[in-house]
Chain A
Amino acid sequence: MRSRTQEINVNGAISVMIVTFPDVQRRIRAQIQKVMKASPPPSAPSSDALCMIAWRGTEEAHTMENKLKGYFMKKDMPAILMLCAGIVVSVFMYTLVQRLEFKNIQNEFIFNTENYSAAVEKRIQENLNSLHAIEGLYASSPMVTRAKFHTFVSNILPHSSGIHALRWVPRVAGAERTRFETAAIKDGYANFRFTELTSQNQPVTARKRSEYFPVYYSESSGSNEAALGLNISSNPVGRATLEKARDTGAMVLTPGFTQFLEPGHQFAFLAVQPVYRNASLHDTLQERRKNLVGFAVGVFRFGDMVSDALRGLNITGIALSLSDESDAPEGRMLYSNVRQEDSVSDDLTFTKALNVADRRWELKFLASPDYRSTHKTLYSWIILASGFISSFLLALYVLKMKRHESEMEQSKDTMTAVLNSINSAIAIVDSKDMRISAFNKVFIQEVEVSEHEVMGKRCFDIAEGKPLPCGRICGDCPVKLTMRTGNQAARESVHRSSSGTMKYIEISAYPVKDESGNVLHVVQLAQDITGRKEAEISRLEEQQVRRMSAERQVVETQLRMLQAQIEPHFLFNTLANIISLIDKEPRSARRMLQHLTSSLRRSLERSREDVSTLEHEADMLRDYLSIFKMRLGKRLDFDIEIPDELLNVPFPPMLLQPLVENAIKHGIEPKVEGGCVTIKAEKSYDMLRLSVSDTGLGFSDSMNAGGLGLENVRSRLQALYNVSANLILEENIPCGSTAIIEVPL
């Protein structure tokens, strides 16, 4: 992830970090901490607001810490859920696969055991068929000797180890007993006789009966000569079996027994096949009873039969049992190699019903735990493990994504918070197209438009017609300057908001550069420096006022001195008049001299005084005007009207003098007929209003020439009263002019 940060020093008090590619929380936090450490409380008065931002920044950092804690729980839930779901799915897949695998094993088991059972059934059938073969032998040859039987059976026996013995049990009528016994003895069996078993299973010579069914020929894999001569029908079970076989004409099987406790204590059974007289009918019961010759009897051993059937087949791990379902429950089990522990797992079994002669057997296969384990694969475990791992990785990814997302959000929030916490308008301008990509609240307020009107707009677009200091032609725009030069730029400007108030704005632009130094963005910071500026201005003004008042004092004194000076022209003209009068009109000369003296003395006094009274001023003007009156004769009249209550009003000395001088010089003297000068004082509200009117020439272009005196009066008024005094020049009616001084009382 690429990230870029730009540090902007705002007056050195705080660093605002602009993250163009929002990196991580810690950067911002580190940044704020850094700022906190790096920036000591700023002392410059302009930095107060920024100091506050710095503290706000710390607060932000603290709350961010807390936020992160709560956040961890809430925002990580998707990842945790993802992990749980992944585990559940993995376990589900695992069980599914296991089940499928079991099903496979089961199918294979059933397939195999079906084959096995078929083999077993086939073997049983084959073994039982040997009795049919004997029946066939008797059917084909009328006379079957012991040797012939032996020869015939010897071909069969070696091939089936399940056949324990094959016997011929003839039907012997009571009368023929001796013949049969004799014949047998003759055949080499010296001890042959018809026997029967006692209740203790001890063979004894058979009692005399009407009919015997002795074991006459017997060929076995082992030796069981003991059975020869045994009358089977003497035993109730044997008799019932024989009679059933005789009556049905079909093979009949005895229940399993352990009569011959021979190798392996195997269960064995007898199969009895009735043999009827050759070519005789045995369709009905009577015919069958009548034509019965004897029985072919086979002794079969289950164990050998089964193992013979399954020879060459791989039955590792499979146990089987054979039971007789048509027998009583306690005697059912015919064969079993099932061990005790095998029976534990009964989910892998296969049961096959076998109909053997008149019996119904059940062949049952059982898989041992070994079988299961040998057939089991690691797929399910692999799936489980890979499921766990992948869901963990997925959760981790989601966690990371969420974290990243939240970090981005957080950093964006922080950015917004930081931007908004700065009490200056900030906009980030894309350098490529001058479009605004970010801004803060203050900016919105300053621009007085809504947010959507700003985002993505060019700055001069929104500035058009708005109270912004920038327009399309702003040649010295700091943003453009920064884009061009890549350096920081700033500019102060004055602008007017829509409400008409003036603002001083300092616009600073800071570049955000990429690695190769190209300017990507420009952060435009507009600070309202009105307060600072105004303070500066008022400070300057204050200084100026102070300086000015000092200057004024000097100026006022100088001007007063100037005005107090007797104009040489006036003085010499007056003196000339006095001289001219001395001889002819000594009284007039004396009076004029007195006025002049008085006037001169007052001038001298006034030039040393700051304040005079209206009365004193009036006296002086009276002297002055009296001199002129004498000089100009009938060409001048004058009148001074000052109400008594105003006589003692303090008044700047020599302030009216220039106005009176002007009235004489520009009004009366240039006018051939002369005129009248009137000085009036009156109170108008809280102002003292003094007017000097003349009926002289009035305004003309020559007024410019006499401006110096007026300028002095104006300057003195400014120096004495600042803006609260007025000097007004009006045209007098019907002729001449009026000068009015208004000063606060």
Chain B
Amino acid sequence: MSIRALIADDEPKLAEYLAGRLSELWPELEICGIAANGKDALARINHEKPDLAFLDIKMPGLSGLEVVRRMTHPCMVVFVTAYHKYAVAAFEEEAVDYLLKPVSDERLMSTLARVKNRFAGNEGVRNIESLLSKLTQAMKNKDTYVRYLRASSGKVMRLISVDDVLFINARTKYTIVVTKDGEFLMRSSLSELIQKLDPEKFWQIHRATIVNASKVISVSQTGRETYLLTVKDCQQPLAVSRSFIHQFKQL
């Protein structure tokens, strides 16, 4: 029984090229299909049940990694990628097969040799889980806080850089983001936002107000318990309520 392989790449020329090279280097290998995106690849793997899958990591629909995670049919996977060195390092560490674009015949041959070896030794997918977790971690954005806020001005939705935000004010039904260019509406509530924003940069000064600390010019005391905040590019001073004064007393 011949070994069946699936190729998935969103760039058709590359997929064709890889198929051509495989048939030349490993004529016994049966190419059972070429998928143009991640969803297609997953469906074909689950349906055609190939023994081997050459998966591009970056694909529309689903990434190669996601395809591996979701596939129900266990098959040997060779990642094909032009991806950065971290991902490559992860592959090497686990000593699992990978191909770097553009794929050279020598590299492809050694991979194929390894694959054949695996098939002979029946080593299967033993390290695939740890590999996946490492890859996912490496791909994950290090920024855990949002850098852009989706807010609308009229019918137009905008992405507003958090650095442009002066302050955010909660109204009864919506939230307003104020920049030097104007006010924008947001759907999410202030309590949701405060979770997503960097507490080093954004301070809550009032039940309904979050201010961008880097835009604060001065704090003045006007009464016994009343502090007013002056914000850059903003005429209206902001009131600081009693329970949030402590942040300024340290200054």
Residue numbers of A with Cβ under 8 A of B are: 464-465, 469, 471-474, 493-496, 502, 568-569, 572-573, 575-581, 583-584, 630-633, 635, 669-672, 674, 699, 703-705, 707, 710-711, 714, 726-731, 737
Contact = CB atoms under 8 A, between A and B. Distances in A.
B60 A704 contact: no
Contacts of B171: none
B143 interface: yes
Contacts of A730: 156-159
Given A569-B84, A705-B141, A495 B220 contact: yes
Nearest to B102: A576
Contact of B228 (A464, A496, A731): A496
B218 interface: yes
A581 B148 CA distance: 40
Contacts of A630: 13
A672 B221 contact: no
B82 A572 contact: yes
Give 6 closest A-B pairs by Cβ, nearest first: A580-B17, A576-B102, A729-B159, A731-B157, A576-B101, A572-B82
Contacts of B106: none
Contacts of B17: 576, 579-581
Most buried by B among A495, A577, A672, A729: A672
B14 A703 contact: no
Contacts of A581: 13, 17
A577 B157 CA distance: 37
A719 to B, nearest CB: 14
A710 B210 CA distance: 24
Contact of A670 (B60, B102, B223): B60
Nearest to B223: A471
B199 interface: no
A674 B59 CA distance: 11
Contacts of B18: 580
A580 B82 contact: no
Contacts of A496: 220, 222, 228, 237
Contacts of A635: 10, 60
A472 B224 contact: yes
Contacts, number: 119
A465 B230 CA distance: 19
B146 A704 contact: yes
B37 interface: yes
Contacts of A465: 223
Given A495-B220, A577-B13, 17 more contacts: A471-B223, A573-B101, A575-B101, A576-B17, A576-B101, A577-B14, A580-B13, A631-B11, A631-B14, A635-B10, A674-B60, A699-B157, A703-B159, A704-B146, A729-B148, A729-B158, A730-B158
24 contacts: A471-B221, A471-B222, A572-B101, A573-B11, A576-B11, A576-B17, A576-B102, A579-B102, A580-B14, A580-B16, A580-B17, A580-B18, A581-B17, A584-B16, A630-B13, A631-B13, A672-B61, A711-B147, A714-B161, A726-B181, A727-B161, A729-B160, A730-B159, A731-B156
Nearest to B145: A704
A704 B157 contact: no
A465 B218 CA distance: 19
Nearest to B85: A568
B143 to A, nearest CB: 6
Interface in B201-220: 218, 220
A469 B222 CA distance: 7
Contacts of B221: 469, 471, 474
A561 B6 CA distance: 40
B148 A707 contact: yes
Contacts of A502: 218, 230
Nearest to A737: B159
Given A496-B222, A569-B82, A704-B147, A669 B10 contact: yes
B70 to A, nearest CB: 16
B143 A704 contact: yes
B12 interface: yes
A672 B41 CA distance: 12
B233 to A, nearest CB: 9
Interface in B86-115: 100-103
Interface string B98-140: 0011110000000000000000000000000000000000000
A671 B60 contact: yes
B187 interface: no
Contacts of A672: 37, 39, 60-61
A635 B223 CA distance: 64
B174 interface: no
Contacts of B84: 568-569
Interface in B148-190: 148, 150, 156-161, 163, 181
A460 to B, nearest CB: 9
A58 B68 CA distance: 94
B88 to A, nearest CB: 11
A731 B158 contact: yes
A400 B83 CA distance: 104
A115 B129 CA distance: 162
B148 A704 contact: yes
B44 interface: no
Contacts of A573: 11, 14, 82, 101
A284 B165 CA distance: 159
Which of B159, B221, B228 has most chain A Cβ within 10 Å? B159
Contact of A572 (B100, B141, B159): B100
B9 to A, nearest CB: 10
Nearest to A471: B224
B10 A699 contact: no
A634 to B, nearest CB: 9
B207 to A, nearest CB: 22
Contact of A703 (B148, B156, B218, B237): B148
A472 B224 CA distance: 6
A576 B220 contact: no
Contacts of A575: 101-102
B19 to A, nearest CB: 10
Interface in B12-55: 12-14, 16-18, 20, 37, 39
Contacts of B83: 569
Contacts of B160: 729
Contacts of A473: 224-225
Nearest to A665: B58
A679 B143 CA distance: 30
Contacts of B228: 496
B11 to A, nearest CB: 5
Contacts of B156: 730-731
Contacts of B12: 633
Contact of A704 (B14, B141, B223): B141
A580 B181 CA distance: 49
A138 B225 CA distance: 140
Interface string B72-84: 0000000000111
A632 B15 CA distance: 11
A630 B13 CA distance: 9
A655 to B, nearest CB: 17
Nearest to B220: A494
B68 to A, nearest CB: 18
A699 B158 CA distance: 9
A469 B228 CA distance: 12
Contacts of A579: 17, 102
Contacts of A711: 147
A473 B226 CA distance: 11
A672 B181 CA distance: 36
B119 to A, nearest CB: 26
